Amino acid sequence: MPNTPDRYREHTHIADVFAERETTFSFEFFPPRTDAAWKRLLSSMREFEQLGPSFVSVTYGAGGTTRENTHQLVLSIRNETNLLPVPHLTSVCHSREEVWAMLDDYAARGISNVMALMGDPPRDDSGVGCAHGDFEHAIDLVHLIKEYNATGAHSDPRGFGIGVAGFPEGHPATPNRLEEMAHLKEKVDAGADYICTQLFFDNHDFYDFRERCAVAGIDVPIVAGLMPVTSLRSYRRIPDFALGSRYPAELQRRMAACTGDEDAAEVGISWAVEQAADLLGNGVRGLHLYILNRVSVAKEIYRRLGLLPEYADTQTGE
Ligand SMILES: Cc1cc2nc3c(=O)[nH]c(=O)nc-3n(C[C@H](O)[C@H](O)[C@H](O)COP(=O)(O)OP(=O)(O)OC[C@H]3O[C@@H](n4cnc5c(N)ncnc54)[C@H](O)[C@@H]3O)c2cc1C
């Protein structure tokens, strides 16, 4: 069964959750863009609670494009649900002061974990990213959060727990994969408690990444990111935003046989369930589901994995 803390506890770090749980289950939310979508997401929070995720994370638009909305969603989750929210923070285009103020605010409101990311700079019409910013890479943000923690300003004496990103198929900015692994290790050595991966569709990529992390001496928990394809449109769009990700030939073959969104969702969800079942059978420390705010998708994956109590005898990966 998924394994949420029974109730929301003050000062729970994700590292504490890993210390207690063999496997974590988590979801990623993004701040909705319309009032109707906000209403839909907030009204599905009870159902998300019933799924008992270990934590939920909330994306942040690089450069601050969703700053208010990310903040609002994180606080709604913190104050109105028993879910454990992890806000994403990105470093590009931000000054130290801006990030410090956000940390101050989260600390004052009882948020105890942050996902520290670089973010991809928002492009203007000419395709140019932002011209200012005090940070180069996510590690600079990890350093700043550790500096913040050391001030003792957080009511949790440990300050914020920190997650960072990893890329099983490699991040396009560093074609030299040895160098990339060294940069990931630097983030962990700087104080990251866990790694959450970019979505991937071939578990071999994850297993190899996990082994390469072990060889590099990276010993924090690694959470596997899975995104189910839920429509023909999402199948076409995922490679645009999931930099470097690749559909294996077998998934492409199955998708090529789809004539509409219903077929595509069936193929996409079955694929994600097959991946999840295989990962669970191979000792994954956590599954992070990019379900794009849709509780129905999360429930369907849980159902097929036999993780919903009423479906406890359902075969895994049906
Ligand atoms: C789990 C997850 C969640 C995400 N959430 C968000 C989100 O909410 N908002 C958002 O905008 N984006 C998000 N992203 C996307 C992410 O911000 C981008 O993919 C970004 O390009 C990489 O982020 P990073 O934190 O890994 O950056 P970094 O760790 O800075 O790495 C980026 C690149 O720089 C290289 N690098 C790192 N350190 C150095 C160094 N010292 N010298 C030279 N090169 C270096 C790395 O090898 C890599 O190629 C997310 C990605 C993942 C995997």
In this predicted model, what pLDDT tens digit does every residue of 61-85 receive, in sequence order? 988 889 999 999 999 999 999 999 9
Q: Looking at residues 155-175, what average pLDDT do you find? A: 96
Distance CA 87, CA 68 (A): 12
Residue 172 CA to ligand 1 centre (angstroms): 10
Residue 266 CA to ligand 1 centre (angstroms): 31
- 275 pLDDT higher than 90: yes
Residue burial 173-184, b: 16+ Cβ < 10 Å; e: rest: eeeeeeebbeeb
Q: Examine residue 3 and state whether it is found in any structural domain, yes or no.
A: no
Q: Examine residue 1 and state whether it is found in any structural domain, yes or no.
A: no
Q: Examine residue 7 and state whether it is found in any structural domain, yes or no.
A: no
Strands (E), 97-204: 113-117, 161-166, 194-199
Whole-angstrom CA distances from 136 to 7, 91, 114, 121 are 38, 7, 18, 11
Task: Name every protein residue with a CB atom under 6 angstroms from any ligand 1 atom.
Answer: 59-60, 62, 88, 90, 117-120, 137-139, 165, 171, 173-174, 180, 183, 187, 196, 198, 225, 243
Range of the domain at 212: 14-311
Whole-angstrom CA distances from 199 to 7, 16, 131 are 29, 24, 29
300 is catalytic: no
Helix count (H) and strand count (E) of the chain?
A: 12, 8
CATH number, domain with residue 136: 3.20.20.220
Q: Examine residue 5 and state whether it is found in any structural domain, yes or no.
A: no
Q: Examine residue 316 and state whether it is found in any structural domain, yes or no.
A: no
**Which residues, 6+ apart, have CB-to-CB distance to 303 below 8 Å?**
311, 314
| Overall domain count for the chain | 1
- 122 pLDDT higher than 80: no
- What pTM, to 2 d.p., does this model score? 0.95
Q: Which of 28, 49, 80, 300 is catalytic?
A: 28
Q: Examine residue 202 and state whether it is found in any structural domain, yes or no.
A: yes
DSSP 184: H
Q: Examine residue 4 and state whether it is found in any structural domain, yes or no.
A: no
State the Cα torsion 51-156-18-6 to the nearest 10°: -30
Q: Across-strand partners of 163?
A: 115, 194
Q: What is the pLDDT of residue 316?
A: 38
For the CA of 166, the nearest atom of ligand 1:
53
Q: What is the pLDDT of residue 267?
A: 98
Q: Examine residue 317 and state whether it is found in any structural domain, yes or no.
A: no
